[in-house]
Amino acid sequence: MSNSESLISTEQRLGAHNYKPLDVVLTRGEGVYVWDTDGKRYLDCLSAYSAVNQGHCHPKILAAMVEQAGRLTLTSRAFRNDQLAHLYEELAALTGSHKILPMNSGAEAVETAIKAVRKWGYEVKGVPENKAEIIVCSDNFHGRTLTIVSFSTDPDARSGFGPYTPGFRTVPFGDADALAAAINDNTVAVLIEPIQGEAGVVIPPAGYFKRVRELCTNHKITLILDEIQTGLGRTGKLLAEEHEGIEADVTLIGKALSGGFYPVSAVLSNSEVLGVLKPGQHGSTFGGNPLACAVARSALRVLTEEGMIENAAVMGDYFLEGLRSIRSNIVKDVRGRGLMMAVELVPEAGGARQFCYALKERGLLAKDTHENTIRLAPPLVITKEQVEWAVDEIQKTIV
């Protein structure tokens, strides 16, 4: 038994089977590439679901992490540290946010927003206690906590975990009329992804978010955009909302906020929503810790200073053009924005997973989603030559 086979066997024997990864055991990463335990190199076209936008093991983020780890890692929020205020300043300057609440995981950021906007609904909007409603979209993915799966429409994510948290209304993604019809006096927020990533990189129709923004403004509803996957350069803009020319009231970021080095997320808001939280009402031992802040500050710097966002826009267009040039009877649709792309196959192709394994053999790592879709999201440092190589390998695979 090879080393990788032994490791896979141990995972299967001792680990909970709540994931179904491709059978490749990775041991090293640099830039757009990762290597397995046998020394084979792969072009990473998943980027840990957009957590490593800056590329694997970016040296400047690594240096910031090592330096801070040698000074101070954790104080809890019982005391202040010398990194948090700087992170606040830099995030506010970059995004225009008025208030910031740091957390750890993306799901924690979503839960934080749900708590805060409900409290805002009661204390500011005047919704009767325990009557607040949040409108969400079908096929959403916002995490896997119990409250979040309560409003999921994915049977795998939701089934068997009840009783469920009430207070959510579900409407079709991209349907502004359905959203308008779901609004009532108890609606406090709309929680939505600018592009539905887990659903297969689903992009809403043009004008949809302008209408959503108008509805929220007119009805005094908080617009929460979950930019945990789409944010921080992935779509060729700092935030995906910029493509629609709108501004959310609350924005959720995570994943690439640390460049893949550490769990860091944040809730960005106007003063009104996060302003309702008082001491003792919400928190996290690790949220806003000095190590997380130092890593996030460096991750944001390299993202902006090294032109990664602009590169995502240019290389995304080039990659998409290449994918759309592929002639294959099994390709149903190619879509994307920036370096967030998907190739959807016809059902008759027999599922996308087999093609992800075939791509793995060719040295390209991608992941299937929703049965028939291959999701592609390489690090934002990808070059034209690497894009051309990837398109060529995909062309050879999905014939």
Select which of 119, 125, 237, 255 is catalytic: 255
Q: Running DSSP on this structure, what letter comes out for residue 202? A: B
Select which of 44, 125, 141, 286 is catalytic: 141
Select which of 44, 151, 168, 226 is catalytic: 226
Quickly list DSSP for 48-114. Answer: HHHTTTT-BT-HHHHHHHHHHHTT-----TTS--TTHHHHHHHHHHHH--SEEEEESSHHHHHHHHH
Q: How far apart are CA 250 and CA 67, in angstroms?
A: 32
Q: How far apart are CA 397 and CA 399, in angstroms?
A: 6
Q: How far apart are CA 230 and CA 240, in angstroms?
A: 6
Is residue 141 part of the annotated active site? The answer reads yes
Residues with Cβ within 8 Å of 134's Cβ and at least 6 positions away in sequence, in order, are 114, 117, 118, 151, 167, 168, 169, 187, 188, 189, 190, 191
Q: Rounded to 5 degrees, what are φ and ψ at 47?
A: 55, 40
Distance set, CA 92 to CA 48, 250, 268, 300, 303 (Å): 26, 13, 8, 12, 16
Strand partners, 113: none
CA 281 to centroid of chain Cα atoms:
26
Is residue 278 part of the annotated active site? The answer reads no
Tokens of 195: 């592009």
Q: Rounded to 5 degrees, what are φ and ψ at 79?
A: -130, 165
Q: How far apart are CA 90 and CA 87, in angstroms?
A: 5
Q: How far apart are CA 331 and CA 323, in angstroms?
A: 10
Q: How far apart are CA 311 and CA 381, in angstroms?
A: 7
Q: What b/e readout covers 16-36, taking b as 16+ CB neighbours within 10 angstroms?
A: eeeeeeeebbbeebebbbbeb
Q: Which residues are catalytic?
A: 141, 226, 255
